[in-house]
């Protein structure tokens, strides 16, 4: 949150190590010994084993290492050996690295406005590379902030062309992560595959309840007493991807569909913001169709 120069210096020497592997004795020992020998101090460490017997092991470590920027490539190279011994899937990154985001929107602006505000005040450790929309409505809120806004219409006829344009924009913009901030179009499988576990959608219901279109209307008709929102990674199946975060709000019989929409907007934007923040901080690991969130 703070941006004093000493904190930035600290961040520049901070790295993250994410590990996933079959559980077995000696993993923590191996990793902590490696870091110790490399002069890196563990600042934060989280781990999870799915099952004490024959389960899967997940670990996230934040460490500090003097002159990390200069040593980073060497450090990664050295770790490769440890990782191979222990049969790990792993990823090492510098905490100072900012992921590049593309935010996809349609006409509703509550999630976009919220993300842009958080980015502006320093809550999102990211570069916003672009905003992409199938409508022009939200352009006036984007361009004054110096963020490119791309209008890519997406109708039944133009779908294939839109898909090509999207992939080209994302590639050229060197985008890491795509945020669907109430983008009301299906994401084609090409993009889902290319950005696996890197496309975050906000669905305006408490999944798995009210999959698909118009969840607030569905909620109204079922007469639920609580509504919710769900942020999840996008997979091929609609609204079925790994859930990152959910939250809810109480409603009652006086609420019409429009009230549910209004109340829901506040839930949606907070749920999406949290999921995005955790993703940007490499705090989310995917395991099958579930997430491990080290927050």
Task: Give the residues lining the site for a copy of itself (CB under 8 A).
Answer: 1-2, 10, 24-29, 32-33, 35-36, 39, 41-49, 52, 64, 109-110, 113, 117, 121, 123, 144, 206-210, 222-226, 228, 242-248, 252-254, 258-259, 261-262, 266, 270, 287, 289-293
In the set 23, 239, 252, 282, the catalytic residue is 239
Cβ at position 105, least distance to a copy of itself in Å: 14
User: Which C-beta is closer to a copy of itself: that of 8 or that of 171?
Assistant: 8
CA 214, chain centre distance (Å) = 24
The answer to whether the CB of 197 falls within 8 A of the CB of 242 is yes
Give the Cα separation of 143 and 130 in Å (integer).
10
Whole-angstrom distance, CA of residue 260 vs CA of residue 169: 35
Of 10 and 238, the one with the shorter C-beta distance to a copy of itself is: 10
Q: How far is the CB of 24 from a copy of itself (least distance, A)?
A: 8
Confirm whether 259 is a catalytic residue: no
Residue 145: other Cβ atoms inside 10 A: 12
Q: Return the number of other C-beta atoms located less than 10 Å from residue 220's C-beta.
A: 19
With respect to a copy of itself, which residue has the nearer C-beta, 67 or 258? 258
User: How far apart are alpha carbons 117 and 195 in whole angstroms?
Assistant: 25
Written as six digits, the tokens of 284 are 């989310």
CA 70, 72, 77, 81 dihedral sign is positive
Identify which of residues 30 and 153 has a Cβ nearer to a copy of itself in the complex: 30
Q: Which residues are known catalytic residues?
A: 239
């Amino acid at each position: 949150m703070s941006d004093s120069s000493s904190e930035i210096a600290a961040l520049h020497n901070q790295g993250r190590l994410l590990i996933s592997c079959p559980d077995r004795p000696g993993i923590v020992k191996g990793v902590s010994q490696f870091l110790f020998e490399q002069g890196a101090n563990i600042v934060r460490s989280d781990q999870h084993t799915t099952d004490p017997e024959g389960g899967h092991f997940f670990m996230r470590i934040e460490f500090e290492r003097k002159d990390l920027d200069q040593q980073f490539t060497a450090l990664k190279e050295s770790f490769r050996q440890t990782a191979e011994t222990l049969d790990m899937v792993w990823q090492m990154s510098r905490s100072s690295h900012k992921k590049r985001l593309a935010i996809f929107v349609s006409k509703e602006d509550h999630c976009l406005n919220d993300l842009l505000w958080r980015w502006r005040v320093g809550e999102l450790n990211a570069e916003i590379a672009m905003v992409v929309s199938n409508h022009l409505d939200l352009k006036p809120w984007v361009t004054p902030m110096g963020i490119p806004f791309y209008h890519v219409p997406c109708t039944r006829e133009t779908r294939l062309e839109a898909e090509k344009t999207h992939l080209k924009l994302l590639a050229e913009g060197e985008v890491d992560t795509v945020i669907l901030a109430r983008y009301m179009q299906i994401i084609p499988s090409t993009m889902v595959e290319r950005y696996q576990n890197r496309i975050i959608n906000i669905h305006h219901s408490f999944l798995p309840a009210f999959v698909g279109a118009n969840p607030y209307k569905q909620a109204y008709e079922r007469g639920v007493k609580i509504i919710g929102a769900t942020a999840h990674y996008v997979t091929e199946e609609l609204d079925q991807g790994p859930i990152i975060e959910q939250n809810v709000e109480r409603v009652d019989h006086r609420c019409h569909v429009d009230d549910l929409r209004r109340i829901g907007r506040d839930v949606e934007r907070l749920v999406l913001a949290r999921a995005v923040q955790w993703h940007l901080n490499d705090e989310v690991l995917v395991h099958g169709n579930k997430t491990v969130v080290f927050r």
